[in-house]
Structure 1
């Protein structure tokens, strides 16, 4: 019979990966819920399970690290009951919430032991080492090529929150890979960052949050608001009605619009 993991704190056996420095905290409950949906985590829970092979611990989400060329990727920052912090990929934390995760981890213990023994007794061949070096070279070339493409024609987006003006183009459905369902979003056009030298962005999108729904928006509405913009292409919805499909590429996302005014 497979062993089960005790629901206890086991800080002595936990390996922590604390954030490297400052990380993003949540502006409010709505910001927190929006990120949980984006990561595919339950919005009704205040705490989650962090599971290892021999134990599991309750944790809360304190914030997240943003990385990538335009901060489009996230690493969740967790806090344990003893106050320690660690970072984890959203998809991995989601897997930990599944009951089957425990069984999979228990069966991996013996498998890892066998693999470790095999590595000790079977040294890598010369051919395998050469193949590994070739893969590294190809990966580096691909990375440089991608970096070069990203820099060409890229807008210099501000890092902090800025003031925007924009017009509502339409409502659309966007596929969320984490929770495997469509999310409702607002597509904006004529998006301009209002600063000393106004920056024309063009098309952008944002989640149709509870805050935005209070304004009962309609296509053609002109808005001004504060927010943070990142380069994140709008994923198209699946099996959506025609009126909720956006045909054009929308390359930028606006996070957590606030101080919203509708003309």
Structure 2
């Protein structure tokens, strides 16, 4: 009875941020493990099932039921966690990761950010209050001869990325490593070239990248392989790997990421 009463007290103390509606669940155990690694919540010893939700004066056990996506191209995630009393709540992956540290509670990440913002605002207001010195009168410089103007380069037209899942054709360019700040490790990715969104008219993206997931590894891809697949695309630059060999570094800038490729067909 005492334990149940304590759980009820904690439930009343917790401020829940409910999901907006339907959220994305995990397809299977491999999908769950892949997302944990992406969020930096993987222990390296398997897929952890229970996590701690901490406040200053108590902590509760939660499980991850799924996630929501947000951003122009759904490239960001918010976790949906479930408490032991059945309540659901949304939380940022980095904040849940911070809660797992034994030092959590002294000063949370969000509180530090709020203090830093307050200090910056005060500094800005103080700077505006300082009287500006009167400008000194200086001799007018002699007018310079106009320089020959160079013709301006025409800007490339901006590509409007579709928000929904679309069909792609592409070729495997190479494999690379990118630094993941969530787990502080390098993740293996596949760099694609000749990437085209099959629409009318077709949209040519050039280079793109995606995670080298277990699903893709089953195809034993090699540079030059031609692929067809479905997925979502987002404007997300491929970050360089940390302390990696030259063969895992991409020469050209890759500006687009393909999320959750499915219905993959390898044509050669």
Query: Per the shorter chain, which TM-score range?
Result: 0.7 to 0.9
| Cα deviation code 1:24-62 (max 9, x no counterpart) | 333443333222112111252112111111111111222
- Structure 1 or 2: larger helix share? 1
Residue in structure 2 matched with residue 12 of structure 1 by the alignment: 12
Say if 2:86 is the partner of 1:83: yes
Map residues 210-249 of structure 1 onto 2, 5 A cutoff.
210-249=214-253
CA distance in 1, matches of 2:17, 2:64: 14
* 3-state SS, counterpart of residue 100 of structure 1: coil
Give the count of matched residue pairs.
220
Q: Provide the TM-score with structure 2 as the length reference.
A: 0.74
CA distance in 2, matches of 1:251, 1:26: 27
Residue in structure 2 matched with residue 189 of structure 1 by the alignment: 193
Map residues 1-263 of structure 1 onto 2, 5 A cutoff.
9=7, 10-42=10-42, 44-102=47-105, 104=106, 128=122, 131=125, 153-263=157-267
Deviation at 1:190, TM superposition (A): 0.6
CA distance in 1, matches of 2:177, 2:200: 34
Moved more, 60-69 or 171-180: 60-69
Unmatched 5+ stretches in structure 1: 1-7, 107-114, 116-123, 135-151
CA distance in 1, matches of 2:224, 2:124: 59
CA distance in 2, matches of 1:130, 1:184: 43
* 3-state SS, counterpart of residue 171 of structure 1: strand
CA distance in 1, matches of 2:78, 2:229: 27
Deviation at 1:257, TM superposition (A): 1.2
Q: 1:210 to 1:128 in 2, by over 3 A?
A: closer
* 3-state SS, counterpart of residue 101 of structure 1: coil
* 3-state SS, counterpart of residue 20 of structure 1: coil
How much is the aligned-residue C-alpha RMSD, in angstroms? 2.7
